[in-house]
Amino acid sequence: MPSAPTANDIEMASSTDHKPADVNMETIEAVSGHEPHNNGRDKAAQLLKEAGHSVVVSPEDNKRILRKIDLAIMPIILVVYALQSLDKTALSYASVFGLIDDTNLKGLEFSWLGAIVYVAQLVWQPLVAYFLVKFPLGKGVSPTCPASRKRGAGFCATMVLCWGITLCGMSAAHNFGGLMAARFILGSFEASVAPTFIALVQMWYRRSEQTNRNAAWYSMLGVVNIFGSLLSYGLAHIKSDVLHSYQIIFLFCGCLTVAFSVVVFIFLPDSPMSARFLTTDDKLIAVERLRMNQQGIASGEWRWDHVKDCLLDVKTWLWVSLLTAISIPSGGISTFGPLIVKSFGFDSFTTILFNMPFGAVQMVATIGGAIAATKYKAKSPILAILCIPPIIGISLLLNIEYTPKNRGLLLFAYYITSVYPAISPLIYSWSGQNTAGDTKRKVTTGMLFIGASAGNIIGPNLYKPSEAPHYTRGLRSNLALFCVIIILVGLGVAWIRVLNRRHAAERVRMGKSAQVIDLSMESNKTLAKHDDAVNDGKTAGTVGDKAFDDVTDLRNEDFIYVY
């Protein structure tokens, strides 16, 4: 099969000789489907081959297409993740409004209601990884392309619909067994959400753009802690002779999710190659602007050699360890946080309201951490810095007496501890930006969430209700884990340096330059200032030649690892 345009091909073109693609729309959309065998190439390579000419992406074109992508993709991602966060945290709100007493929960049963969602996610992650490679993420149906209509409902929309229905059904559970069954099914459908969003961000955005987009959808946790608290406060005031307050919360959140699944089904596209909001020519620009990522877009083929590369890659286990380490305190604090605040001496409604600043801190820390990491082109130092406030906050919670006169200081300690959610999206981005190859990216993401699920299972069970109000065992273990994260970040930086030196040596062996320019991490403003094309082969050397060959990062000597 003829190859896609390489960096050397692009070097011969200029931004002034770029012309609209003379390629049939139906052909492009058929290429974006999952039926044809692609001989180990990314589907972007097939699209560029059909175009028949080189495409140079100017900073102006890049800015224009990025704006279109943000408007079409990000609102859907943000709302879906907010709904998932709301559905998941509905349990903690329900605990404040009588769930534990009304359903006769004993001992660690409430802890297991928090953990069982992650047991389901852990079980389903391998299959989710496979589905993300093989199935279309969105509907992507076009009236001009019969082939696209054969692909059926989008994976993401189907999962959103199913978990919304499950949450509605959870209002009918009246005991521990019923709640456990409903929560397990809920977790099974929610298992796909975050991995799908990571895949979407990798599919649509340059590496320099990915950190802020991952942080944006993850920051919905903070938004939900603010508005979810208000929503629960309002719903709990509804008087009903039939339903308990927590049942009303479950029903409302579930119905909201079911309704939005229709929006996802209609508007979420499969990939840049089939997006209806892009013209034929813009599709080529949307694909070509991702060349310097060297990560590919979508192949539609499951490759076992990529799975092997993933399992043998030291980085994979580093990311898994990091995400497990942060998910243990995350699982515990998110489940028991409202109960901790209530133990400061507040009633149920005041507890819910005092949980709102917790969400505001989460949101500011998540967005702020991502902006800093993008500005300095490094996630590792920001990750280490973000561990410091939780270390201070937990230390205060462990050493201050829980009395009314100490409420202010206790709330301060609780709020600065809530900086920790900013860590997870940086780990997702650090991993995503350092992994290439379609199957390897999806498998790596799946393993990340296996680690996250394991951490969220362990976390709530470190908090024993019998240890209330201080929850000493849980808080001490969380304190130790934030220190472990700092150590793991240092090891990650050291290993990435080793890998970059290996690739530099391999380039020299092959007669290439040891030093290459990573345009994928440059901002559009910087590229425009130097009048560089986003995919300029002349500037970047041979970087990008293998961008759409569906090869893993370890097998591409031009791949540049980032800190």
Q: What is the pLDDT of residues 364-380, one digit of tens each?
A: 999 999 999 999 999 99
Q: Is residue 223 part of a domain?
A: yes
Higher pLDDT, 8 or 368: 368
Please state, as a whole number, how many other Cβ atoms lie within 10 Å of the Cβ of residue 515: 9
Q: Is residue 229 part of a domain?
A: yes
Query: What is the pLDDT of the chain when averaged over all its residues?
Result: 85
Q: Are 197 and 218 in contact (CB under 8 A)?
A: no
Q: Is residue 37 part of a domain?
A: no
* pTM (predicted TM-score): 0.86
Say yes or no to pLDDT of 411 above 60: yes
Number of H helices, E strands in the chain: 26, 0
- The contacts of residue 26 (CB under 8 Å, 6+ apart) are 144, 145, 147
Q: Is residue 27 part of a domain?
A: no
Q: Is residue 220 part of a domain?
A: yes
Binned at pLDDT 50, 70 and 90, residue 1 comes out as very low
Domain that holds residue 137: 60-499
Q: Is residue 469 part of a domain?
A: yes
| Pairwise CA distance, residues 356 & 227, whole Å | 7
Most confident of 116-130, 332-346, 528-542: 116-130
Among all chains, which residue has been given the structure tokens 């799946």?
446
From residue 370, alpha-carbon distances to 208, 236, 337, 357, 452 in Å are: 11, 35, 24, 20, 20
Q: Into how many domains does the chain fold?
A: 1
- The contacts of residue 55 (CB under 8 Å, 6+ apart) are 5, 10, 13, 18, 21, 48, 284, 285, 288, 535
Q: Is residue 521 part of a domain?
A: no
Q: Is residue 17 part of a domain?
A: no
Give the domain CATH number at 459: 1.20.1250.20
**Could you tell me what percent of the chain has a pLDDT over 70?**
89
pLDDT at position 150, please? 45
List, as own/partner pairs, every contact residues 559-562 make where C-beta atoms lie below 8 angstroms and the sequence separation is at least 24, other chains included: 559/294, 559/436, 559/503, 560/294, 560/500, 560/503, 560/516, 560/518, 560/520, 561/434, 561/496, 561/499, 561/500, 561/503, 562/207, 562/377, 562/378, 562/379, 562/430, 562/433, 562/434, 562/496, 562/518, 562/521
